[in-house]
Every structure is written in C-alpha cells, then in structure tokens.
C-alpha cells in the first residue's frame, strides 16, 4: 500500500501548499490537518506554537506518512529543526523554499516579507535570505489581520481590499521588487495584494517551491507513488468543518471528505 504525504497548518492556509503538491505530484495521496480550533498561531507565544505543532506532527506521523510538510511559516520558524531531528522520515518547512524562490526573482535585492507576528519576530526569513545572498535588504511587515480574515472565509470581498490597503501602504515607498507571502494563508489574498501593489512587484508564495522540494526528496529516496496505488486524500480539522470545507472546495476544486479530530490539548 502507498504511504501519504502529511501536510499541516494552523488552519486552512496549508491548503495553498497542498494544492501545489497535488498539482505537481498528482499520483500522491495527502493527509492534511488544520488546527482550526486554535488558529491563529501567529500571536501566540512560541512555546505554545511549538506544543501545538508537535501535537499535529505526531498525529500525522501516526497515519504512517512517508514525509511531513510543515505548511505553516509560524510553526516552521519554531519547530522545524526539532521535528526533523526527532522523526525518521523527511520533514520540510516552507521558509527556505519561499526564500529560495524570492532570491530567484529579485533583481534589485530588495525583498518585502509579510508574515504573522510570530514569523516576523523570529526573523527566520531574514536569516534564510541572507544565508543565500548577504546583499539582500529586507522589509518585514506583520499582518495580524490577514489570517482571521481568511479563516472567516472573507478573503475576496470589500473588507479584504480595505484591510490589505491599510496594512500594506507602508510598503509602497520601499522600492522592493519582490514580496514574500510568508504565511500560507496569504495566497488566498494574493489577487487583492497584487492589485493593490501593482505589477512592478513580484509576489511570491512558497507553495510552488515547497512542492518541488517534496518531489525532489521523494524521487531521490525512490518513494514516489505509482498512479495505480493512489488513494483518496484525507482532510482533518480540529474545529468547524464548515468554512474549512467551503475554502477547501473553492481552492482545491475537489470533492473532499473532511473529518473532525481532537488533538491531546484541544
Ligand atoms: N498559515 C500560518 C503561517 O504560514 C499561520 C497562520 C496563523 O495561525 O497565524 O504562518
């Protein structure tokens, strides 16, 4: 029997990464968990985010997955290295792939970073970008209103436009040519963000590069699935499945079965 790829996030944001994995690796099965009941993680202390991240990681590990993708920047920043060390399967996050992708696109080395308060405070993107190219100048900005907007299913309306404009206006004077969406919820706001900032700024989300990394690792390990082995994807949420289901259908355009689950600390 084929083993699935585990994907996790504090809520529905990781679906933006799951979508890329499904697109690039259509033979693979995904097991997804979103900790909707405790989302957002962004404003929480890092010790709490770490605890919740571990609970999700153990849950997915117990589903016999062959690889784990921490599709949450906030969780990646605080727990990736620990989980990589503890697990005997490959574990990747979304920060290095996002940084790599931004470096590929920038021409003037001025890169904006949007993220949750936790991710921005951690400076994980700055470290990743400057490791790759020390001349990079970064312009970080925490966007605490974005995740609640997306989790409430309001990512496309006039309220979203207003909040995006109010939050991003300081970026207009920075002369960045590339902007990292350093939270996996933000690609749901990408059309509005792009419209507000205009076409001179390339907006990067880490899903595409993360999926490439999944593909490369599984190919190297000889663990890519063959088409005939594929089973249905499985989606778990710790909270209400209503908005999770709506966004998942809209974003993934798939018929999904969504199961509620309780983690030890829920
Ligand atoms: N989607 C998550 C991230 O990439 C976190 C959102 C949150 O729970 O605050 O950072």
pLDDT at 229 over 70: no
Residues 86 and 215 grouped into a single domain: yes
- Interval 30-72: pLDDT, tens: 999 999 999 999 999 999 999 999 999 999 999 999 999 999 9
Residues 127 and 185 grouped into a single domain: yes
Q: Is 183 inside a domain boundary?
A: yes
Residues 99 and 200 grouped into a single domain: yes
Domain region containing 101: 95-205
Indicate if ligand 1 lies below 6 Å from the C-beta of 13: yes
Indicate if ligand 1 lies below 6 Å from the C-beta of 185: yes
Answer yes or no: 183 catalytic: yes
CATH classification of the domain holding 197: 3.40.50.1860
Region 240-246: what's the mean pLDDT?
A: 84
- The residue whose CB lies within 8 Å of the most ligand 1 atoms, and thus the one to mutate among 183, 188, 207, is 183
From ligand 1's centre to the CA of 245, what distance in Å?
A: 18
From ligand 1's centre to the CA of 85, what distance in Å?
A: 22
The HSE-up count of residue 262 (CA atoms within 13 Å, CB side) is 3
- Residue appearing with tokens 């000889």: 222
Indicate if ligand 1 lies below 6 Å from the C-beta of 41: yes
Cross-strand bridge partners of residue 234: 31
Residues 163 and 102 grouped into a single domain: yes
From ligand 1's centre to the CA of 80, what distance in Å?
A: 14
Q: Is 266 inside a domain boundary?
A: no
- How buried is 47 (Cβ within 10 angstroms: 0-12 exposed, 13-18 middle, 19+ buried)? exposed
Answer yes or no: 72 catalytic: yes
Please state the atom number of ligand 1 nearest to the C-alpha of residue 14: 1
Residues 156 and 54 grouped into a single domain: no
- Interval 10-23: pLDDT, tens: 999 999 999 999 99
């Amino acid at each position: 029997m084929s083993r699935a790829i585990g994907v996790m996030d504090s809520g529905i944001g990781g679906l933006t990464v799951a979508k890329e994995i499904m697109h690039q690796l259509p033979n693979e099965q995904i097991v997804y968990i979103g900790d909707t009941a405790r989302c957002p993680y962004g404003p929480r202390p890092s010790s709490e985010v770490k605890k919740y991240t571990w609970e999700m990681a153990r849950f997915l590990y117990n589903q016999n997955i062959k690889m784990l993708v921490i599709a949450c920047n906030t969780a990646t920043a605080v727990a990736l290295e620990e989980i990589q060390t503890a697990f005997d399967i490959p574990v990747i996050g979304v920060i290095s792939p996002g940084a790599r992708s931004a470096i590929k696109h920038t021409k003037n080395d001025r890169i904006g970073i949007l993220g949750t308060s936790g991710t921005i405070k951690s400076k994980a993107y700055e470290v990743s970008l400057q490791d790759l190219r020390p001349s990079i100048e970064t312009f970080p900005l925490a966007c605490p209103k974005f995740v609640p907007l997306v989790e409430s299913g309001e990512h496309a309306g006039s309220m979203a436009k207003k909040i995006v404009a109010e939050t991003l206006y300081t970026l207009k004077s920075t002369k960045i040519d590339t902007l990292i969406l350093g939270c996996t919820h933000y690609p749901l706001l990408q059309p509005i963000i792009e419209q507000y900032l205009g076409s001179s700024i390339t907006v990067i989300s880490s899903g595409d590069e993360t999926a490439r990394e999944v593909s490369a690792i599984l190919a190297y390990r000889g663990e890519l699935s063959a088409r005939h082995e594929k089973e249905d994807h499985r989606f778990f949420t710790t909270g209400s499945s209503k908005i999770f289901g709506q966004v998942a259908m809209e974003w993934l355009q798939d018929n999904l079965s969504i199961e509620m689950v309780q983690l030890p600390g829920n």
